[in-house]
Structure 1
Amino acid sequence: MFKRVLSSAVALVAISLVAATPAQAVAFQTTASALNIRSEPYLSAAVVKVLNGPTAVDVDCQKLGDPVTVPGRAATSWWAHLPAHGGYATVGYINTTETKLPGVPDCPADPPPPAGDVTLADVQAMFGTRIANPSIVQTGLPSLNQAMRDANINTPRRKAAFLATLVHESRLEYNIREIGDTRVYGGRGYIQLTGDFNYGPAGRYFGIDLLGNPELARSLQWSAPIARWYWTVARNINPMADALDMGKVNAAIGYPAGAEDQRRCDSFKNALRYLSGSVPAGVICTRSKALSGDTSKLTKTQFEALDRIPGTVG
């Protein structure tokens, strides 16, 4: 009798183990000693786990994301989804000579983004009295909506993070100058562009002389494109919004951690609630210790390296 019960228990364990492995999963092995597993296939996405390695893993699908170059291998933009670990690992640190895993299907396409530009009524519903000058906001919205399209700010999470940031930076007024700031390269425009270390690169990107004519940064023609430049070129903020990591968004904007972080996160939640009907679980309002200071003068590469776990890759 005992043997029959034991045999049945072993069989049930075996069945559960089989069921835990996705039907289409393909076995591979990681090649790094400490590999970041990220919530999405982007280098700035949240790290959900670090795999000590080499480690045997099951991959059920793969997805295009940020390019990663591993010494001795060709760069790859493909990331392997590891269902047992709840995230993605770059294919660069998987035991294959290919840039895309053989025998592994692509992950299902993301749902199409919601259609429609943001209106004055929308931002008033999201942010209430923070919209202090509706006529100026209305004037700037066509250029701001175009900048959002250009930057792929096209999902509720991305729109909420972008608009919550700008409403705190500039009240969504394209032509605003930071109050009391008399510096030549003080805050201007939607994103409150600040410092010659930003005016110079932004001007070179657009082929305009922002260093020689900084007032262009708050013109109707350039205020929204500059905000888009900062969001996608100076930083890579969309993946942070995808991960609901408003703490990292705030750090990327470049001011020290404090009470303002929570205020901006509350605005992010209000915008999410309006755009999608609810606030999903997992919104992150706080920053890691590494990102608690003023990061405004860091390059994009320096910023992305700041929050990386020492000794990890991917």
Structure 2
Amino acid sequence: MLHRVLRAALAIALAGTAGLIAATPAHAATYQTTASALNIRSDAYLSASVVKVLSGPTPVEVDCQKAGDSVTVGSRTTTWWAHLPAHNGYATVAYLNTPETKLPGVPECTVNPDPPIEDITLADVQAMFGSRIANPSLVQTGLPSLNQAMRDAQINTPRRQAAFLATLVHESRLEYNIREIGDTRKYGGRGYIQLTGDFNYGPAGKYFGIDLLNNPDLAMSLQWSAPIARWYWTVARNINPFADQLNMGKVNAAIGYPAGAEDQRRCDSFKNALRYLTGSVPSGIVCTRSKAYSGDTSELTRAEFDALGKAPGTVG
């Protein structure tokens, strides 16, 4: 464990600069916002936390822009978000006074790369989760594909790894081929993330170019179980930002089951994983959910789920 803690200490030291703009132009461009109650978010995602709400149209300085979630306003759709240094956050370009979908002449934001993260081993997950690892040989077999899925999903920090692994150990015991016990539904829970419902099997199959609706057992195959978990984490939902915020309440809501005692159990596993990966448990971990996230969110689209976290009357 010592090498993991030392590695994590380096990651934490570098992480303090990972979100900072590494190259800021000498003169920022000025634009006018075009909306009232415009959300300024901590990152270029609709699920990122709101750091400020601009009450009305106002001039803002933009020093760079980055690609993020798609936003449509009227006939214009853009994936570009403007960084507003004075407000320490991002606003979608859709609500700036430009007809362009990307701001002309404004550089893209650059950040320091994340430090390399080692692959997770069987010894690691056993140390994190103890007796929840009930079939070590099966877990070992699946780890190469699971580590690749984490790389593909940018699950590359201790917080993200801890949230992802804590979720999967409760969903499937980290066994790629598990079927939800007693669930005889055609589209019942399968695989690492217990994919459930035709509303998930259909889109996941379309994303990977496989027919999951007619071959649902592919969701618990060694080839597809981990990629499907990655798809759900990043495409069906956008969960990495919740892990970054230490908000396991939102992570659990995004997975899609009603609030209850299971939330605390998963949060405890998250803490155990963080303790192992970093040597300590940080303050500020959120284990509970707000009222908006307390119900069963499993059948919501990503847009519908993202809308739950938006304050009434705000945009962006």
Would the TM-score normalized by the shorter structure come out above 0.5?
Answer: yes
Tell me the amino acid that sits aligned with residue 83 of structure 2: H
Tell me the amino acid that sits aligned with residue 50 of structure 1: V
Q: C-alpha distance in 1, partners of 2:228/2:93? A: 33
1:262 is matched with: 264
Does the 8 A contact of 1:29 with 1:57 survive in 2? Answer: yes
1:48 is matched with: 51
The 5 Å alignment of 1:28-43 reads: 28-43=31-46
Does the 8 A contact of 1:288 with 1:307 survive in 2? Answer: no
* Cα offsets for 1:262-286 (capped at 9, x unmatched): 2212222322333334444443322
* Cα offsets for 1:156-181 (capped at 9, x unmatched): 22222211110110110111122222
Once the 2 structures are TM-superposed, how far is the Cα of residue 94 of structure 1 from its aligned partner? 2.6
Q: Secondary structure at the match of 1:69?
A: strand
2:291 to 289, 292, 308: 289
The number of equivalent residue pairs is 292
2:153 to 151, 154, 161: 151
Greater gyration radius: 1
1:181 is matched with: 183
Tell me the amino acid that sits aligned with residue 41 of structure 1: A
Distance 1:189 1:25, change over 3 A: same
The answer on 1:309 being equivalent to 2:311 is: yes
Does the 8 A contact of 2:158 with 2:274 survive in 1? Answer: yes
Query: Percent of pairs identical after alignment?
Result: 82
Cα RMSD (Å): 2.5
**Greater length-normalized contact order (CA 8 Å, ≥ 6 residues apart):** 2
1:238 to 214, 219, 240: 240
Once the 2 structures are TM-superposed, how far is the Cα of residue 28 of structure 1 from its aligned partner? 4.0
Distance 1:103 1:185, change over 3 A: closer
2:140 is matched with: 138
Gaps of 5+ in 1: 1-22
Q: Secondary structure at the match of 2:175?
A: coil
Does the 8 A contact of 2:114 with 2:156 survive in 1? Answer: no
The answer on 1:170 being equivalent to 2:162 is: no
Distance 1:119 1:88, change over 3 A: same
The answer on 1:66 being equivalent to 2:64 is: no
* Cα offsets for 1:82-108 (capped at 9, x unmatched): 344342222322334444456765444
2:209 is matched with: 207
Q: Secondary structure at the match of 1:68?
A: strand
Q: TM-score, with normalisation over the residues of structure 1?
A: 0.83
Q: C-alpha distance in 1, partners of 2:191/2:41? A: 33
Q: C-alpha distance in 1, partners of 2:92/2:80? A: 6
Q: C-alpha distance in 1, partners of 2:107/2:208? A: 39
Mean CA deviation greater in 129-138 or 207-216: 207-216
Mean CA deviation greater in 166-175 or 37-46: 37-46
Tell me the amino acid that sits aligned with residue 209 of structure 2: G
Mean CA deviation greater in 129-138 or 111-120: 111-120
2:111 is matched with: 109
Once the 2 structures are TM-superposed, how far is the Cα of residue 231 of structure 1 from its aligned partner? 1.4
Does the 8 A contact of 1:61 with 1:81 survive in 2? Answer: yes
Q: C-alpha distance in 2, partners of 1:89/1:229? A: 26
Distance 1:209 1:280, change over 3 A: same
Q: TM-score, with normalisation over the residues of structure 2?
A: 0.82
Q: C-alpha distance in 2, partners of 1:207/1:59? A: 39
Once the 2 structures are TM-superposed, how far is the Cα of residue 58 of structure 1 from its aligned partner? 4.2
Q: C-alpha distance in 1, partners of 2:201/2:67? A: 32
Once the 2 structures are TM-superposed, how far is the Cα of residue 68 of structure 1 from its aligned partner? 2.5
Q: C-alpha distance in 1, partners of 2:63/2:212? A: 48
